[in-house]
Chains A and B, each alone.
Chain A
Amino acid sequence: MIPAPFGLLAELTHRCPLACPYCSNPLALEPRADELDTGAWADVFRQAARLGALQVHLSGGEPGARRDLRDITAAAHAAGLYTNLITSGIGMDVGRLRGLKDVGLDHVQLSVQDTQAESADRIAGYAGAHARKLALAGAITEAGLALTVNAVIHRANIERLAEMVALAASLGADRVEIAHAQYYGWALRNRDALMPTRAQVQAAMTTLDRLRAEYEGQLVIDAVIPDYYARRPKPCMGGWARRSLNVTPSGRVLPCHAAETIPALEFWSVRDHSLAEIWLHSPAFNAFRGEDWMREPCRSCTHRHEDFGGCRCQALALAGHATEADPACALSPHHAAMAEMAERASESGVSDYVYRGR
């Protein structure tokens, strides 16, 4: 019996004014002409809700690049889904936000790149972005919408973790996500420029513990741990095809946003199949569902029910095959090489980014 998904990540578009070097979109960005239209998205949301999904994350690219964002949001709400807007803040304004709230938007997640405008704008590849984000944060809370601040952490900003959390608190956020860069796609290409040193990561973990105590009751701090220096892998996606699905701008349905980095997986599209058929029967979703695909050391490991062998995309990228254990795991034969590679990247001296989509 395959359980129902909880969440749907709707990549409404890959268009974005920013060009962050760790963008989670694929290296091959989908063009505007291929994007699903308003009605197709509305149908996806109704199907997702029928399938048992509870939350939709309206993401991109920058979802604000869609002129029909209000109608899309309204359709998600009408389908009965909890609607979360994941935005860079660029292209959004008070008027649009109020409009989204009026049609049922529940929550906004706003990205910030750094606490210093000059550095933040350099990371985003967009002059003036930081100031506009701060202004929009005010508009979000003024509109009565719940706000989460998301900060992707890497070598250029990791030393300002405490300032980042303080900024989130001052912007009126209820929650801040400290998300260490995940090295797939664009971030993998920029790994030398992004990877923090081991010492920086250790200091950041200590700082995080202190901040959690300091902000208790005021701000929830969620952190995605930097797994290149970890000993245990993260339970990536809560397990492959177990909890959520991702629909790309053109309607391809993926078990996670990086899944297309695994060659030979067959993805189905909402243009050809129902979402339920895709969730239950598509080859990509069934490729790593359950535990039958596992090799040693995962196959007989006592941790396999909790971490699901870690991340399939990372296993492919660093261990050479998607059925290997995630090398973030100390039990992987590739673990030491991963840590060494992280250290080499962190000391590479590279500071120029390959900007997304440019």
Chain B
Amino acid sequence: MAENAEAGPKPRLAPGVRLHFDTTRNAWLLLSPERVIETEGPAHEILRRCDGTRTVGEIIDELAAIYEAERAVIEADVLEMMTELRNKRLVRP
């Protein structure tokens, strides 16, 4: 199902899901019930933008700017990750 990344919803972390900087392991971690996932690189850049203030299109724009990459490439990666995050109930909507 194609998503309207420009005018679509503004994703946020689901209830019970938090991004946490762990000083013991010196790493960003996504905390959710029974799960701890280390996040780095592009995955972290996407997750920290899931704060309910940006559309997926805006997240793509920002990542394309940071990584100085072609927007179409970034778009495919972001959409794939958003699907995965939603399936794992880590991000809404």
Chain A residues in contact with chain B, CB under 8 A?
Answer: 4, 6, 51-52, 54-55, 82, 84, 106-107, 109, 144-146, 148, 174-175, 177, 216-217, 219-220, 222
Contacts and interface: CB of A to CB of B under 8 A. Distances in A.
Contacts of A51: 24
B15 A222 contact: no
Contacts of B24: 4, 51-52
B79 interface: no
Interface stretch (B28-36, B51-59, B66-74): B28-36
6 contacts: A6-B36, A54-B20, A82-B18, A82-B31, A174-B14, A177-B34
B26 to A, nearest CB: 11
Given A146-B33, A217-B87, A107 B16 contact: yes
Interface in B1-57: 14-18, 20, 22, 24-25, 29, 31-34, 36
Contact of A175 (B33, B36, B86): B33
A200 B20 CA distance: 41
Interface residues of B, number: 19
Nearest to B88: A220
A105 to B, nearest CB: 9
A107 B87 contact: no
A4 B25 contact: yes
A186 to B, nearest CB: 22
Contacts of A106: 16, 18, 31, 33
B22 A146 contact: no
Given A6-B36, A220-B89, A222-B34, A54 B16 contact: no
A148 B35 CA distance: 12
Given A146-B15, A175-B89, A220-B88, A107 B25 contact: no
Contacts of B20: 54, 82
A222 B34 CA distance: 10
Given A175-B33, A217-B86, A220-B89, A146 B14 contact: yes
A216 B88 CA distance: 8
A109 B25 contact: no
B29 to A, nearest CB: 7
Contacts of B29: 54
A224 B18 CA distance: 25
B34 A54 contact: no
Contacts of A175: 33, 89
Contact of A148 (B25, B33, B36, B86): B33
Nearest to A148: B33
Contacts of A107: 15-16, 32-33
Contact of B25 (A52, A82, A219): A52
B15 to A, nearest CB: 4
Given A217-B86, A220-B89, A54 B15 contact: no
Contacts of B25: 4, 52
B33 A54 contact: no
Contacts of B87: 216-217
A146 B17 contact: yes
Given A146-B33, A175-B33, A219-B89, A52 B18 contact: no
Contacts of B22: 52, 54
B19 to A, nearest CB: 11
